Amino acid sequence: MTVDEHDADLVPLSDRLAVLLIARLAIAASVIIAVGVVGDVVVDPSGTVELAAVLYAGVTTAVELTRRKLGWRGLLAVSALLVVDGIFLAFVVGQTGGRDSLLTFLIYFHIVAVTLVASYRTGLKVAVWHALLMVGGSSAVVAYYLRGEDPAFDGAAAFRASTLLVLAIGAAAFSSLNERGLNHSRRQIQSLLDLSSDFEREEWPEEICAVLAVHVHRRMRFRRALVVAEEGGRLIGAVADDAACVWFEAPTSAGEAGGVVAECRRTGAPRLVRALDPSADPLVDRLLPFAHNVVAVPMLANGAPVGVLLAEWAGGRWSGLPASTLATLVQSAGHAAMSLRTRLLLGEVDRLARHDGLTGLCNRTEFDGALERELSRAQRTGDPLALVLVDLDHFKAVNDTHGHQTGDEVLRQVGAGLEQLVRREDVAARYGGEEFVVLLPGVDAAGGVAFAERVRSGLREAVDAVALTVSAGVASYPENALDVDALVGRADAALYAAKRGGRDRVVASDVSTRPAVVADAG
């Protein structure tokens, strides 16, 4: 007979054993009071029950104090005490009237105490032990030796043993339900704490979506999980199933259909869907094909939706979803929403710190860092690198004639036009005032000139606020310069040459890094 140690106990073992010691001392005190104080009610013919109770209290106290010093090595003595409890109570009942003893209630008290304080499994074992002592005739044998009674089978004792078992089973059932509920709540809380900890370790919104999808699939036992969020005009997210967890990115238009995702975002309330409509949710249908029993939960941060969690319940087509599971799902989505909103805000702050607020292009600081990195990479790989400086012709006259609001609109349109012309690996920035710069990795001087010509003609069409022309200067590594300062200086000199030459033109640097070849006059 052992005291069960559960992996999800809410109360430490030492505290529970301390409560059991109090229960044992209460039993001993009850026996002493019943026999010694009101002895006319509870009779002890042998006169040994009171002494046994004192010894029992002393032994149990000594064992508990010893256990605290020994730690886990003292658990065997604790288990042995449960056996001693049964023997002591059987002796007390046998000595004070057997089946007619008024102290029989102490056995019921002991069973209930062990069941509630230790565990329902231990309570059942203790009940069986008491029943064996009772039915086996311990009390009857004691009575035989004391009073010469025949220790034949006692039906009343068997009935009381049965009531012990019924009581123990009932107490164990209620204790088990209570324990399961508490353990379930503890696991949910621990799961949410672990989830929040996982969120704190991630830096990118896509990673937060992936953490939530994996959590719902693996820890909450959903068949599949999909997280859809919006960032900077695009949809991002992750889908998790038994095979893997996959990130995805899609244009915002892919989620514009009026399906469960749109309804969840609009209402801010969870939805249970037996089967998804492919025409209403084309993106969801591609990521969760043939999904049924889907729970859609809005991801709300301070009441504002930042995304939607869709989870496919692992039960049958018509199986119900437990309310506690839905509540945990909503809480998980809420935690993810707050983390996602924080990352999105931090990303926006970082973007604003690295980009020009008017044009949306990189600012001077970000461009300088990119230029250092790209030139260092070009020096390692031997690839060319072109730099194009662009200046708006007569921009001061635009501000003076049309006002600064029109000038700002021109700058915004120039920024949008450059974003349409550059490649993904290119870096376009506002260099200062009405001057812009574009860095072209892997492009030589001729390619830089060709790009600058496209910029010159493209911006003329992109800007409709006023009639606009631009001048551009081009320099490249390693043809015109070998370091950052020289590269910028060569492009700047070429730009001023374009302006001096009449503007609305592209000029490439004529400085060469190759040594001049001097012909031999002889």
Task: Walk across the sheet containing 435-441 and list its strands.
Answer: 427-432, 435-441, 385-392, 470-477, 506-508
- List the one residue out of 222, 189, 434 whose CA is nearest residue 332: 189
Strand partners, 432: 435
- List the one residue out of 340, 346, 329 whose CA is nearest residue 306: 340
Q: What pLDDT score does 121 carry? A: 74
d(CA 227, CA 249): 11
Three-class secondary structure of residue 517 per DSSP: coil
The H or E element that residue 376 is part of is helix 364-381
Instruction: Let me know: does 295 contact 216? Beta carbons within 8 Å.
Output: no
In 252-365, beta strands by DSSP E: 271-275, 292-301, 304-312
Q: What pLDDT score does 12 carry? A: 67
Q: How far is CA 166 from CA 118, 120, 131, 162, 171, in A?
A: 18, 13, 11, 6, 8
Q: What pLDDT score does 505 carry? A: 92
Q: What pLDDT score does 146 carry? A: 46
d(CA 224, CA 286): 13
Query: Which residues touch 83 (CB under 8 Å, ≥6 apart)?
Result: 1, 129
DSSP secondary structure code for residue 255 in this structure:
G
The pLDDT tens digits of the residues spanning 463-478 come to 887 888 899 999 999 9
Tens digit of pLDDT per residue, the chain (522 long)?
Answer: 444 444 434 456 677 788 888 888 988 888 888 887 665 667 777 778 888 889 999 988 888 888 777 766 666 777 788 888 888 888 888 788 776 778 888 887 887 888 777 776 777 777 777 777 766 554 454 445 444 455 554 555 556 656 656 666 666 566 566 666 666 666 667 777 777 777 777 778 888 889 999 988 888 888 999 998 887 778 888 999 888 888 888 877 655 556 788 888 888 888 888 887 777 778 888 888 888 888 899 988 888 888 899 999 876 555 677 777 888 888 888 888 888 888 777 777 777 778 888 888 899 988 999 999 999 999 999 999 999 999 999 888 888 888 889 888 999 999 999 989 998 899 999 988 889 999 999 999 999 999 999 999 999 888 887 888 899 999 999 999 999 999 999 999 999 999 998 889 999 998 887 765 444 443
In 1-136, beta strands by DSSP E: none
Structural domains of the chain sorted by starting position, each given as residue range(s) with its CATH number in brackets? 13-184 (no CATH), 202-350 (3.30.450.40), 364-508 (3.30.70.270)
Radius of gyration of the chain (CA): 41
Q: What pLDDT score does 493 carry? A: 94
d(CA 250, CA 284): 11
Strand partners, 141: none
Q: What pLDDT score does 309 carry? A: 92
Q: What pLDDT score does 138 carry? A: 47
Torsion of the alpha carbons at 29, 30, 35 and 40, rounded to the nearest 10: 140
d(CA 435, CA 99): 105
The pLDDT tens digits of the residues spanning 400-429 come to 888 889 888 999 999 999 989 998 899 999
- List the one residue out of 437, 427, 423, 439 whose CA is nearest residue 385: 439
The H or E element that residue 350 is part of is helix 323-354
How wide is the angle at C-alpha 231 spanned by C-alphas 436 and 373, nearest 5°? 40
Compute the Cα dihedral for 407, 411, 417, 421 and give only its sign: positive
- List the one residue out of 486, 464, 389, 402 whose CA is nearest residue 433: 389
pTM beyond 0.85: no
Query: Which residues touch 244 (CB under 8 Å, ≥6 apart)?
Result: none
Compute the Cα dihedral for 33, 37, 38, 40 and give only its sign: positive
Compute the Cα dihedral for 100, 101, 102, 106 and give only its sign: negative
Q: What pLDDT score does 131 carry? A: 74
